[in-house]
Amino acid sequence: MSIFTPTNQIRLTNVAVVRARRAGKRFEIACYRNKVMGWRSGAEKDLDEVLQTHTVFVNVSKGQVAKKEDLVKAFGTDDQTEICKMILSKGELQVSDKERHTQLEQMFRDIATIVADKCVNPETKRPYTVILIERAMKDIHYSVKPNKSTKQQALEVIRQLKETMQIERAHMRLRFILPAKEGKKLKEKLKPLIKVTESEDFQEELEMVCLIDPGCFREIDELIRCETKGKGSLEVLSLKDVEEGDEKLE
């Protein structure tokens, strides 16, 4: 007795499914776990590392492949690779509750790590530990947003934590050398952007070493370039002005 296997069925295992609805029908693609977010963020460029197969399904778990006429009607083409790309970029990633929980936990840790890396206690200039930041995030009941990048969320967390604890971005230490002609005028424009002036020497040219908030770096860089028409120079002496040892929160 022969066992009949339908030709429009493909069986796959260990799959992450991305789903999209078009023209009243459901379409799915089969991807490797943990690769979809990498593709969307631009970290993963190789489509073959993301897709298990360049095939569009109506139902991945049952292995049912989409019909050619349905694809043309919904996407305007029957090029399966192009359709896979469309679904990959705009479709909804199907994850189990357990996977979603694990993903959110990882993002929570990543956000805390970024905050700990970028910030200090402004009084002692010492960095906080990741565990301490995680605890502080739980205290303010911060909930992770899966569709926003961890870097964006870290900046939001810093803003919220400032209301409950002593924390701020670690200052950058810069040295800039400005031509004497523009130096005086430019110094006045730079003043509001500088946190601390550590040294200043004005002879044939103005040389300053100062601490700034990292968020002001681009503005200072553009100001010096435009005002001195490229004659001024800006050098980053240290990305973080911090003291040795971790900050302890009693």
Cβ burial 176-213 (10 Å sphere, 16+ → b, else e): bbbbeebbeebbeebeeebeeeeeeeeeebbbbbbbbe
6 pLDDT more than 60 = no
196/180 same-domain check: yes
Mean pLDDT in residue range 161-179: 90
- pLDDT category of residue 249 using cuts at 50, 70 and 90: very low
Has residue 46 been placed in a domain? yes
Q: Tell me, what's the pLDDT at 130?
A: 94
Q: Tell me, what's the pLDDT at 5?
A: 44
* CA–CA distance, 65 with 142 (Å, rounded to integer): 42
Q: In this predicted model, what pLDDT tens digit does every residue of 84-107 receive, in sequence order? A: 999 998 898 887 778 778 888 999
Q: Tell me, what's the pLDDT at 9?
A: 57
Q: Tell me, what's the pLDDT at 183?
A: 81
Q: Tell me, what's the pLDDT at 73?
A: 94
Q: 94, 127, 147: which is the final residue of a domain?
A: 94
State the average pLDDT for the chain.
86
Q: 94, 116, 133: which is the final residue of a domain?
A: 94
Has residue 29 been placed in a domain? yes
31/61 same-domain check: yes
* CA–CA distance, 241 with 210 (Å, rounded to integer): 11
Has residue 51 been placed in a domain? yes
Has residue 245 been placed in a domain? no
Q: 45, 76, 94: which is the final residue of a domain?
A: 94
Q: Provide the token pair at 230.
A: 């490229």
248 pLDDT more than 70 = no
Has residue 165 been placed in a domain? yes
Domain count for the chain, please give it.
Answer: 3
161 pLDDT more than 90 = yes
Q: In this predicted model, what pLDDT tens digit does every residue of 103-127 receive, in sequence order? A: 889 999 999 999 999 899 988 888 9
Domain limits at 149? Answer: 97-169
- pLDDT category of residue 154 using cuts at 50, 70 and 90: very high
210/190 same-domain check: yes
The residue among 159, 136, 154 whose CA lies nearest residue 144 is: 154
159/225 same-domain check: no
- CATH code, domain carrying 64: 3.30.1250.10
- CATH code, domain carrying 124: 1.10.10.900
What is the pairing mode between strands 205-212 and 194-202?
antiparallel
In contact, 112 and 162? CB cutoff 8 Å = no
CA angle at 78 for the pair 75 and 81, rounded to the nearest 5°: 90
- pLDDT category of residue 234 using cuts at 50, 70 and 90: confident
Has residue 39 been placed in a domain? yes
Beta bridge mates, 177: 207, 233
Beta bridge mates, 9: 64
Q: Is the pTM higher than 0.85?
A: no
Has residue 52 been placed in a domain? yes
Has residue 50 been placed in a domain? yes
Q: In this predicted model, what pLDDT tens digit does every residue of 58-84 receive, in sequence order? A: 999 888 999 999 999 999 999 999 999
What is the pairing mode between strands 172-179 and 233-238?
antiparallel
10 Å CB burial of residue 18 (0-12, 13-18, 19+) is buried
Q: Tell me, what's the pLDDT at 93?
A: 86
Mean pLDDT in residue range 203-221: 88
61/102 same-domain check: no
CA angle at 215 for the pair 184 and 128, rounded to the nearest 5°: 125
* CA–CA distance, 243 with 224 (Å, rounded to integer): 29
